[in-house]
Structure 1
Amino acid sequence: MATEALIERILAASDGPSSSAIDALHELLDDAAIEASAMPKSVAEAARLVGLSTHTLRYYEQEGLVRPARNASGYREYSAFDLRRLVFLARMRLSGMTMTDLKRYILLVEQGPSTIPERRRIMLDQQDRITRQIRELGLALETTEYKIRVYDGHPEG
């Protein structure tokens, strides 16, 4: 599933009165569902479980972000570890993290605990980008709301 489609699913799921986008994201990409299924998943099953397209899963593999095992017939088999990695990738892409940063981050993860300070720096930088995007979207929303008031004949309030 493309990032835009995932965003649509999250927004639709978080439309309830007591629901948040974070709750919806966790529900759509539930780590517990991954843990409950100990059997390796095919590419189609994995894609369905994490809410991504099979094309995206293959692309992530091609880019070295996930490395599912192959069975005796040569088909991909996604383990719980692979599925958790895919959930992380989906969450980071949803937040706007670039493929370059994701590749760097995963490379560092695979190098072990000595890279934690650099991984933390990547996450702090991403947090700053997200915070800035939220502020920018807030301004865009205020402008939109102002225009709606103008069109309704009430620009002052």
Structure 2
Amino acid sequence: MVYAVIRTGGKQYKVAPQDVLQIEKIEGAAGDSVNFAEVLALGGEGEPKFGAPLVDGAAVAAEIVEQGKGPKVIIFKKRRRQNSRRRNGHRQLLTTVRIIDILTDGKAPVKAAEATTAEEAPKKAAKAKAAPAEGGEEAPKKPRAKKADKAE
């Protein structure tokens, strides 16, 4: 089984294809593909390969499953005998990702490219229907009726 050690959000994760994990928030919507280029180690096929600090030409392709928040953490500070207390809460923003493939030797992600192409096709068709035909003009907008003055 092939695995990789990646670094993201100041943490290191050991990942394999089809793993689902929660990481620090990264930009993107559900269904978007993302590549992690900071691969620290590769293993599973023969000898493990370690980077110094990164493995050359290695990347990990993943897909964003959802954006969310972690559990609430209560921060409570008290200074004894000073009548001083402070209570705060915090919920960390998290992104759930599914690892699609571990890429070595600078290969491009195959499955991730197919997924984005399949998703973009319906969106492009919808945009083409919504856009007016070339050379045609949009229908003129009707002026909005003004409300009668309430002072009268």
Length-normalised TM-score, structure 2: 0.27
Larger Rg over CA atoms: 2
